[in-house]
């Protein structure tokens, strides 16, 4: 009611009755709500940022679904996946599939005067989507004129290039271990860095045709296929569709295929991210409890200090429920003010970190070079609504102190 609102504003305002002990209680309660919501926003945005960036980098290296021969990793030269134009078309025509691209993986050792390092060389063709690698290219890039270098080019991660003392334009002797050692001198045309050190130091990129020739494979034979879906959230449905096509190809090509989602091939990494989700729920519960406890304590202080005011209201005929409404209205003002401050501070911190990357991380441990933050309007609204409702429900505890 209007009178309840007026009385609540009188208790909350800076008039003479608010200049006593209750003013610090209101400030503390407001600060508790603000800090609690700010921490919740930062926790949610960091977790979402981590999951989003790591998922994007995993997809950049291997896409949503990977198809390999079932006997992958069984020998020096792995059994290939045979995929003709008709097979590519069958996969590309699937409802959920956006892109199908072949690759050839081949272990190698690069030796220079400074050092040597072994890693997996990934062969890609001209139709391969190079957006991800171009995004993280530090120097050089893919050779624009294939005729000038043929297939004798290689792109390395910065961590490998620094270790070997290589730069763009350097010649690298690459050793391939087969029945006999084969050596190819490749020109470094690009150096990239994703910050995903676990993968950066494991992969280089070169021409698919080169690795096919080294394996003595036909142009239709590959280590595997990378499949990008239109919506990664439907990865299980996409897996079922791809598995169905590969089952038909198994009988045609007399090969056994292994179909895996990115959650299968990177199970340890995504298990770690799932643990982060559990931590988020724990932090949210703790922050809500702390903010609620601060609010309850603050309102109890105000109620105890306003016993004379409560007595006056009751002598004027106000019921217990009416007096409770006055203090609950006061609580709502405090909660809304605290939430407004918490939202502003939390969102500003998120955007500052997004733009300027002030808080760094060690990529060797966290896969990223700075703390990622991602604001989402949907979860932000839900968080505010839930925070307000639960805070108001908690306020029923101190308001029950008011009695005849």
* pLDDT of 3 above 80: no
Q: CB neighbours of 197 closer than 8 A, spacing ≥ 6? A: 159, 363, 364, 367
Report helix, strand or coil for 331.
helix
Q: 311: which residues sit within 8 A by CB, 6+ positions away?
A: none
pLDDT digits (tens, 9 = 90+) for 304-356: 776 777 677 777 777 777 777 777 787 888 889 999 999 999 999 999 999 99
Residues ≥6 apart with Cβ < 8 Å to 93: none
Sorting pLDDT into bands at 50, 70 and 90, what band is 7?
very low
Continuous segment of H or E residues that includes residue 61: helix 22-62
- The predicted-structure confidence for 76-85, as pLDDT tens digits, reads as follows 567 899 999 9
295 pLDDT higher than 80: no
Residue 221 DSSP one-character state: E
Degrees (nearest 5) of the Cα angle 50, 54, 59?
A: 150
Model confidence pLDDT, tens digit, residues 226-244: 999 999 899 999 999 999 9
Of 270-279, 280-289, 360-369, minimum mean pLDDT range: 360-369
Q: Which residues contact 80 (CB under 8 A, 6 or more apart)?
A: 69, 215, 217, 221, 222, 223
Q: What is the average pLDDT across 212-224?
A: 93
Rounded to two decimals, what is the model's pTM? Answer: 0.78
Instruction: Note the pLDDT of residue 100.
Output: 96
pLDDT single digits (tens) 192-216: 998 888 788 899 999 999 999 999 9
**pLDDT tens profile 142-178:** 987 544 557 889 999 999 999 999 999 999 999 998 7
pLDDT at 2: 43
CA distance 281 to 267: 22
């Amino acid at each position: 009611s209007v009178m309840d609102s007026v009385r609540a504003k009188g208790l909350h305002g800076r008039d003479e009755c608010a200049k006593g002990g209750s003013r610090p209680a209101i400030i503390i309660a407001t600060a508790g709500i603000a800090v609690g919501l700010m921490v919740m926003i930062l926790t949610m945005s960091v977790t979402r940022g981590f999951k989003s960036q790591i998922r994007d980098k995993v997809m950049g290296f291997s896409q949503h679904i990977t198809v390999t021969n079932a006997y992958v990793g069984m020998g020096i030269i792995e059994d290939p996946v045979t995929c003709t134009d008709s097979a590519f078309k069958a996969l590309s025509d699937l409802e959920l599939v956006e892109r199908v691209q072949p690759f050839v993986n081949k272990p190698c050792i690069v030796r220079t005067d400074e050092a040597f390092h072994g890693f997996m060389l990934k062969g890609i063709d001209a139709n391969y989507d190079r957006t991800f690698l171009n995004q993280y290219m530090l120097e050089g890039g893919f050779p624009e004129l294939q005729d000038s270098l043929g297939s004798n080019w290689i792109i390395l991660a910065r961590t490998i290039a620094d270790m070997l003392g290589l730069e763009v334009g350097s010649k690298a002797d690459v050793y391939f271990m087969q029945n006999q050692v084969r050596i190819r001198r490749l020109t470094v045309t690009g150096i990239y860095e994703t910050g995903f050190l676990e993968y950066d130091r494991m992969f280089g990129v070169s021409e698919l045709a080169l690795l096919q020739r080294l394996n003595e494979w036909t142009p239709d034979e590959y280590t595997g296929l990378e499949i990008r879906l239109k919506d990664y959230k439907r990865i299980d449905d996409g897996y079922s569709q791809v598995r169905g096509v590969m089952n038909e190809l198994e009988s045609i090509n007399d090969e056994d295929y292994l179909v895996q989602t990115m959650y299968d091939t990177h199970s340890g990494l995504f298990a770690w991210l799932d643990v982060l989700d559990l931590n988020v729920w724990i932090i949210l519960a703790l922050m809500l409890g702390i903010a609620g406890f601060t609010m309850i304590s603050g309102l109890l202080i105000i109620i105890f200090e306003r016993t004379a005011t409560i007595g006056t209201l009751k002598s004027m005929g106000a019921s217990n429920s009416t007096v409770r409404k006055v203090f609950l209205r006061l609580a709502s003002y405090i909660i809304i003010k605290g939430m407004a401050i918490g939202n502003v501070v939390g969102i500003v911190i998120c955007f500052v970190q997004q733009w300027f990357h002030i808080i760094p991380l060690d990529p060797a441990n966290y896969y990223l070079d700075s703390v990622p933050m991602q604001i989402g309007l949907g979860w932000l609204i839900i968080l505010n609504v839930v925070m307000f409702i639960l805070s108001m429900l908690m306020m029923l505890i101190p308001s029950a102190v008011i009695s005849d």
